[in-house]
Chains A and B, each alone.
Chain A
Amino acid sequence: MKRKTLLCLSLVAMLMTGCVDQMYVEDVSLSLILGLDLDKNGHLLVYMSSPVFNKEAKEKEEKVEVKAVTIRDSRELFDMTVMALTSGSKTQLLLVGKKLLKRKNWIDYIDPFYRDPKNTVTTRVVAVDGPVSDVIFFRPKDKPRLPLYLANLVDTAYRRNVTVKTTLQEFHEQTTEKGITASITEMKKDHKIMLTGTALLDEQSNYKLSITPHENKFLRILQHKTKGDFPFTISVPLESNGHDHWISFSTPSIKAKTKVRYDNHFIFDTDVKMRVVITERLFPFNVRSDTAKLQKSIEKKMQADFERLIKKTQTKGIDPFGFGIYARAYTYPEWKKVQNQWGKAFSKADVNVKVHVTIGGMGTIK
């Protein structure tokens, strides 16, 4: 009897947990997108886009712009205007204007994401080329609501390595790790929203360089992150008659291996082994008999592209590839001396990329 009473009591207690401290979904404004930008006078602007759960509302999305001191301060200002209480627990994207990215110590603004245990850290960090308001207040007719559209856009583009996908947590790793500089998705709005590639930041997390989707694939390979698809379309230098020889291939397997030595400066040797399957060829060529020749020319072209990207980053003094992590792991005494100015040390380093291409298949036609 006593047991039964206890059991009943505990069951009742379990059901009662929802009775106090409850929160209706109608009473929450989930800020699915949070935008940060600077206005003309250098004041912080915070944008928010949140879904509206109401039958009578014609637009199912609220978008607000406020001028605030910090992100947390902006919440109060949002609460003053939006229908319900603002909550950051489901934020999908953090849009950061390029203007803000160039400001010193802008990274301090995102502190609440890490500090408040209620906030999520799987938010995608996106750099916006141009004003953030253009993106936030954009209402495309042929797309679902903006947060869903943008989140999906970034996720799928990341699968084909058009851009990187950096969550806030990964961003924190990249900014605190001395051996790598951060790289984030870059977005632009002209008449529609486009992912333009990847924005590379320096050690102080200030904007330094933008790279194209094509270059982004090389970045990913050098980061040893060879998951997802790596489709390439390149013009191979077969003969020097000035014609473009366009060829496309997918890469079922890419293996990258980095070695590091120190000889007055850091020397990195990266071997990239690729297995390619031709998916498109716009010039006559006998792949069966001249495999080696085609492999060579692809290797040559890829190698040149790798080198160009590395040169570009070295002149800016950034290391988005994470070569510094290798330097720390294998040449620790030398690394220790330069760890606080790794960008500078990396710009003096030699990076030799060797590409080995194996043509695994030519497709179903000759």
Chain B
Amino acid sequence: MKKYAYNEITLMQYIFLINGTQVGTGVLSLPRILAEKAGTDGWIAILIGWFCSVAASIFLVKAAAKYPEDTLYEILIRFFGKILGKALVLIYMFYFAFYAWTILVNACLYIKAWFLPKTPDYIILLLFSIPTFFVARNGLRVLGRYSELSFYMVMWIPLFLLIPLKDGNWLHFLPLLKEGWRPVLSAVPTTVFSFLGFEVAFFLYPFLQKKQHAVLGITIANTLTMLFYVFVTFVCFAYFSPDGIIEFNQPVLNLLKLIEFRFLERFDMVLLAVYLIVVSTAWMPCVYFAAFCSSQLLGKQDHSNYVTILLLIIIGLVFWLDPTWIESEGWQKMVTKGGLLLAFAAPPFLWVYSWIYEKFRRRVNH
């Protein structure tokens, strides 16, 4: 009998959950950061970043596939014993909680700066929490459905980016590799981090219906993210002059500001409001997995109480700290540092470790 029969997710839900977790607010400033580091060749760095994240993803799936019915919690305890295993799960829990915190704070700051300047931060976060609670208190299946549905709902967004493209200038991209490979490589860490979020696959794997497609699914999810990033970066680089783009903190929003119809101005505001759906598919899995980890740590079946607690803590912290843009950027840097360990270093390590572990155990058994 399967352990998670009621919460199995389909391949599509698996893809969109991973893709949703990867794409958040980062893409709004990604073109600027790439331009700062590598000029108009920055888009090449996205491809390299994609390659790295696909490689790490495959390791991750391979490591998880050794014990297809176990979640990361059970795997870690099996490998490292109760105490160390639990400590590691605790790290994952804090990582997801902190990840959710940074996305929520960042989204809140955007909303505040663009259209609710007078609304207090904690009210905005309270409003974010209501749908988050309703989705995350349920099982993974509901979360997967939400991610899939939102993906279909926001698929039209890239089409609007084609409007400013007609004023773009492709000459900005020439010559390719202006300064050689060095600046491109220096931008790779940034792009690698922008793919963070695929580590949720560790937790998704036991719930996946057709496990034989897990590698394919995670590759598709990474590729979707890559295509979106490359597309957005291309449009920004084509429109903005290479020297001008680095002056805008979020060039994507500046790009959308230019879209005007006879009946509608300031399209950036409309789009930012809709884009919240995309961002919500990034924070919701994080909230869910933080709660999931804590419920497993405490040996409880139901995790919905932990969702409430986490959301209350976040609202309380925002009320208390009143985060600024600069603080938020600092936290994002911390998350990406943690992500490097948990998403990029951990999967190959676990894979190698599981291999040694199996060998060692077999020898003992014989």
Contacts and interface: CB of A to CB of B under 8 A. Distances in A.
Interface of A: 21, 89-90, 114, 117, 120-122, 167, 169-170, 172-178, 180, 325-326, 328-330, 332
B178 interface: yes
Nearest to B164: A169
Contacts of B257: 120-122, 169
Given A117-B114, A117-B268, A325-B172, 16 more contacts: A21-B118, A21-B119, A114-B247, A121-B254, A121-B258, A122-B265, A169-B254, A169-B257, A172-B244, A176-B244, A177-B242, A325-B171, A328-B171, A329-B171, A329-B175, A332-B175
Contact of A120 (B242, B247, B266): B266
Contacts of A176: 241, 243-244, 247
Interface residues of B, number: 27
Contacts of A121: 254, 257-258
Contacts, number: 57
A177 B243 contact: yes
B31 to A, nearest CB: 14
Contacts of A330: 174-175
23 contacts: A21-B116, A89-B266, A114-B247, A117-B253, A117-B268, A121-B257, A122-B257, A122-B265, A167-B258, A170-B167, A172-B244, A173-B241, A175-B244, A176-B241, A178-B243, A325-B169, A328-B174, A329-B172, A329-B174, A330-B174, A330-B175, A332-B175, A332-B178
Interface of B: 113-114, 116, 118-119, 167, 169, 171-172, 174-175, 178, 240-244, 247-248, 253-254, 257-258, 260, 265-266, 268
Given A120-B257, A122-B260, A173 B240 contact: yes
B170 to A, nearest CB: 9
**Which 9 residue pairs are nearest across A and B when measured between Cβ atoms?**
A176-B244, A177-B241, A329-B174, A329-B171, A176-B243, A173-B241, A332-B175, A325-B171, A173-B244
A325 B171 CA distance: 7
Nearest to B173: A329
Given A169-B257, A176-B247, A117 B174 contact: no
A221 B176 CA distance: 27
Nearest to A89: B266
Contacts of B243: 176-178
A330 B172 CA distance: 11
A173 B167 CA distance: 12
A167 B164 CA distance: 13
Contacts of B254: 121, 169
